[in-house]
């Protein structure tokens, strides 16, 4: 894999410390491609109404060429320890090298600290949780209670970030959950908490479903109405309304997902070849899925760090193929109820808001909070709020994890 130091074939020990690479040739090629961009036209005053905004893209690309310092961003990303581990190879899961961040709780808190696995989604990677890690591992240094500290583990899903791309079919969320259970075993954690959003929400759901004796609690920021729910249950009016809203959202905003599920390889040719195409594909989602205008939520460096990870690792195609794998998950799997204690924090700028009736039907709901601000990338947009929600939710479950 481009940009990854080590693969499953050449890692002799597991886990292995990992250094994010800086490839000067790849960066020079990126800048050359950016300078050679053939820009599309756009209707006057179209803004974001037709997709990515031309003016915003031009501004970001100009900064990507002459102002963005990838080496400095790598230094910032490397303030936490990075590793790779050889996972899979059994149970129908391909053997893969997986990248993850693993940060131990600061001294002075509860001992041993509670392990917490954080699961990202699309279009991101371990990047999603960069701001929240210090708030969770060292709450005492950020106005919190040292007793709430976690050991935090943030893996990149296969086909994302610095994890290997599957050479065969993409893994679905069930397969990724198996890998994360294996990773936690390799790290010496028998019982742990899990939290995530977007695709990561599905991953931690299957961790709780398939490894209930190991997961003490699961925290999520979203939950879809399962396929087949209308046939399997007598839905409340609230749940039926949610299904209608989801259908309306999919019709208006879901074209990207339809492509990912049906023809991801076709899209990958353009997105893997054009950095501006890749930027447009990702930044339009960061704009429309966040709580506020793009420039008010993210700095240029933050946006471009997320996109540059995708560009240098060449993972846009493999990340999109996961949608096709998830679309093939049988209905009976989607209808299973999570019996592990479950908590939800729903942020106003997120895509959809599942009703309490569905959360109670589909999970052992013990906590539900409507948040005052934040969106789909809540851990990055509102790290203090997100960290507080995790600390509050897992506090009564800590004794079960040790």
Which sequence positions are flagged as catalytic?
198, 323, 376
206 preceded by a cis bond (ω within 30 of 0): no
The alpha-helical segments, DSSP class H, found in 293-337 are 294-297, 300-313, 316-327, 331-334
What 8-state DSSP symbol labels residue 349?
Answer: B
Instruction: Count the Cβ atoms, other than its own, within 10 Å of residue 220.
Output: 26
Sheet hosting strand 96-103, strand order edge to edge: 16-17, 82-87, 96-103, 150-155, 114-119, 192-196, 215-220, 338-346, 363-370
Q: How far apart are CA 348 and CA 271, in angstroms?
A: 30
Q: What is the DSSP letter of 155?
A: E
Task: State how beta strands 192-196 and 114-119 pair.
Answer: parallel
Give SS3 for 192.
strand
Between CA 5 and CA 19 the distance in angstroms is: 7
| Nearest in space to 244 (alpha carbons), one of 355, 140, 81, 393 | 355
Token couple for 63: 């900064």
Classify residue 65 as exposed, middle or buried by CB count within 10 Å of its CB (0-12, 13-18, 19+): middle
Q: Around Cβ 19, how many Cβ atoms within 10 Å?
A: 11
Residues 6+ apart with CB under 8 A from 238: 355, 356, 357, 358
């Amino acid at each position: 894999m481009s940009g990854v130091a080590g693969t499953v074939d050449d890692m002799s020990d597991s886990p292995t410390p990992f250094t994010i690479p800086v490839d000067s040739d790849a960066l020079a090629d990126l800048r050359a491609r950016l300078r050679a961009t053939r820009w599309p036209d756009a209707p006057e005053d179209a803004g974001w109404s037709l997709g990515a905004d031309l003016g915003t893209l031009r501004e970001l690309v100009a900064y990507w060429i002459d102002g963005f310092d990838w080496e400095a961003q790598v230094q910032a990303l490397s303030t936490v320890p990075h590793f790779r581990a050889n996972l899979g190879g059994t149970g129908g899961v391909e053997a893969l090298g997986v990248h993850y961040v693993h940060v131990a709780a600061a001294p002075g808190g509860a001992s041993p600290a509670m392990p917490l696995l954080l699961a990202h989604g699309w279009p991101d990677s371990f990047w999603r949780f960069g701001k929240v890690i210090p708030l969770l591992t060292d709450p005492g240094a950020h106005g919190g209670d040292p007793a709430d500290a976690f050991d935090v583990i943030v893996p990149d899903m296969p086909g994302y970030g610095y994890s290997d791309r599957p050479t065969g079919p993409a893994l679905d969320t069930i397969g990724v959950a198996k890998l994360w259970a294996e990773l936690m075993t390799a790290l010496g954690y028998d019982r742990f908490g899990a939290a995530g959003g977007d695709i990561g929400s599905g991953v931690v759901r299957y961790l709780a479903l398939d490894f209930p004796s190991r997961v003490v609690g699961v925290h999520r920021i979203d939950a879809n109405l399962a396929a087949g729910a209308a046939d399997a249950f007598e839905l409340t009016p609230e749940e039926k309304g949610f299904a209608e809203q989801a259908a309306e959202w999919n019709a208006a905003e879901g074209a990207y997902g339809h492509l990912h599920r049906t023809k991801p390889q076709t899209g990958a040719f353009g997105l893997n070849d054009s950095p501006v195409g890749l930027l447009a594909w990702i930044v339009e989602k960061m704009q429309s899925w966040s709580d506020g205008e793009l420039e008010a939520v993210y700095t240029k460096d933050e946006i471009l760090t997320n996109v540059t990870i995708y560009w240098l690792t060449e993972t846009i195609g493999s990340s999109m193929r996961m949608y096709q794998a998830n679309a093939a998950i049988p209905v009976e799997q989607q209808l299973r109820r999570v019996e592990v204690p479950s908590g939800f924090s729903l942020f106003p700028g997120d895509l959809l808001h599942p009703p309490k009736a569905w959360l109670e039907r589909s999970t052992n709901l013990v906590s539900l909070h409507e948040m005052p601000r934040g969106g789909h990338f809540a851990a990055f947009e509102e790290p203090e709020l997100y960290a507080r929600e995790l600390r509050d939710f897992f506090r009564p479950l800590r004794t079960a994890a040790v």
